[in-house]
Amino acid sequence: MPSPKAKSTGRSSGSPGGGGGNGRYEFMSLNRRTPPHMLQRQGSDPTAARLRASESPTRRRGSGSSTSSTGGGQQQLPEEDCMRLNPSIVGIALSSLLAMDLWLSKRMGVCACEDSSWGSMRPLMKLIEISGHGIPWLAGAAYCLYKSDSIAGQEVMLNLLMALILDLLLVGLLKALVRRRRPAHNRMDMFATFSVDGYSFPSGHATRAAMCGRFLLAHLVLAPPLRVLVLLWAVLVGCSRVLLGRHHVTDVAFGFAMGYAQYDLVEALWLSPALLQGMLGHVA
């Protein structure tokens, strides 16, 4: 008959965590990999032991560090591919100005087409548009120069004609350089357009209105009501560009400033009939 001691010894040796036949329980450490000879002594499955070892905190820490190092390497992108998280104040101001310009221009384009909110005013706006076109002004200045009998009148009309040609050259050059598209709600049904007229910046009508307005007020003797009408005409020409959807607000504002400055250039390059005759004599 076996003794109770032998039963307890056999039970301890057949336990999963037993250390052979010594009757003591042994616990495996999770922080280190169990050697293969210990797996054989404990009678465990080597595959399961390897799985347990792979799930140990040390292996998990190693895999986490390798992943973080790999992720850190992926985050080191070239400087040109990285998104700038701290744009400059100038860039933010320009972007805000552009957004406000687009929004305000679209809201003010109330005569862009017949079914707009002010579509019934479109024929009047187009008439004002023609009054500020370059072709009528060139033809009118050339006709007045031909019909003028006085030297003073010929001098004024000659410089006005030169100013109009200078305005066309400067505006066309600037439009070709900037190449800003016209507003999306614009209808290209303008009178006598050219290739550069497909661009929006700056407004040639606004530059011409500002320059001609200053020219007429400075060199023509006008009564006060007529002087007010000249100023009102120049403002209406600029406003018609936005109401018809031809230009953005900044195009017209820059056009007014450019036309105002162009008159100073015309005064600096003022041509007298004697100077013109001398130049023609040297050419001949």
Which residues lie closer than 8 Å to 236 by C-beta, 6 or more apart?
A: 128
71 in helix, strand or coil?
A: helix
Catalytic residue (choose from 133, 185, 247, 248): 247
How buried is 104 (Cβ within 10 angstroms: 0-12 exposed, 13-18 middle, 19+ buried)? Answer: middle
In the residue annotation, 37 being an active-site residue is answered as: no
Q: What single-letter DSSP state applies at residue 121? A: G
* CA gap 126, 132 in Å, rounded: 10
Q: Distances from the Cα of 60 to the Cαs of 30, 55, 130, 217, in angstroms?
A: 12, 6, 79, 86
Q: What is the rounded distance in angstroms from the CA atom of residue 239 to the CA atom of residue 261?
A: 19
Catalytic residue (choose from 205, 219, 248, 282): 205
**What's the Cα-to-Cα distance from 89 to each of 39, 80, 92, 94, 102, rounded to whole Å?**
68, 20, 5, 9, 20
205 catalytic? Reply is yes
Which sequence positions are flagged as catalytic? 205, 247
